[in-house]
Amino acid sequence: MKTFPFLIVTCLIACSTFSLNAQKAELLSVLPQTKEEFIASEKNLLATIDWLENTPINEETELRKANNALFVAWVTNSPTVTIEISAKVLDFTKKNQELLVLFMAGWTRYSLLNNYSKDAVQGSIAGIRCAIKSYNLGGYKKDKEMQKLIDLDVNGGLEKWVADKLSGK
């Protein structure tokens, strides 16, 4: 009877390993060339964005570099997604430049999940929240600008702050 629990544990370990491999297999692996390929790759791009957001900056650094590069190439060449990068809301990237890619990733995810939205306020909020989530995982330089955004978000003031910044107030 001792072999039964052993078999269950072995099966659980094997299934979790297959699950982890399947998750990495879902990441974007090649840059699409046609509009149809871009649209077909959106699910993989979303998985890549989730991976970038949820993987600490100081872990799997080579895979991060590759995913960052592929993500930036995808969003730069996409015929369907347009994002706006405004310096007015990006002070938090001065000390931690890596957060710019996270900002772009959050905005891109927002656009994809909202019928290719180009809403600058909502896209910027999504980008900042993606950067905040990654920042909170650790590995970044401490930054008072980022802490200010975290506090605004926690206290419900992030949307007004972004709207004011983008409108020049």
Instruction: Scan for tokens 């008072």, then name that residue.
Output: 144
Tens of pLDDT, residue by residue over 107-143, are 999 999 999 999 999 999 999 999 999 999 999 999 9
Instruction: Judge contact between 82 and 111, C-beta under 8 A.
Output: yes
pTM of the model: 0.84
The answer to whether 122 touches 114, Cβ cutoff 8 Å, is yes
User: Could you tell me the CA-to-CA distances from 162 to 42, 56, 87 in Å, in that order?
Assistant: 27, 26, 11
Q: Which residues of 79-115 are buried (b: 16+ CB within 10 A; e: fewer)?
A: eebebeeeeebbebbeebebbbbbbbbbbbbbbbeee
Residue 168: per-residue pLDDT:
85
Q: What is the 3-state secondary structure (H, E, C) of the chain?
A: CCHHHHHHHHHHHHHHHHHHHHHHHCCCCCCCCCHHHHHHCHHHHHHHHHHHHHCCCCCCHHHHHHHHHHHHHHHHHCCCCCCCCCHHHCHHHCCCCCHHHHHHHHHHHHHHHCCCCCCHHHHHHHHHHHHHHHHHCCCCCCCHHHHHHHHHHHCCCHHHHHHHHHHCC
Q: For 71-81, what is each residue's pLDDT tens digit? A: 999 999 999 99
pLDDT one-digit tens code per residue, 49-73: 999 999 999 999 999 999 999 999 9
Q: How many CB atoms lie within 10 A of CB 16?
A: 10
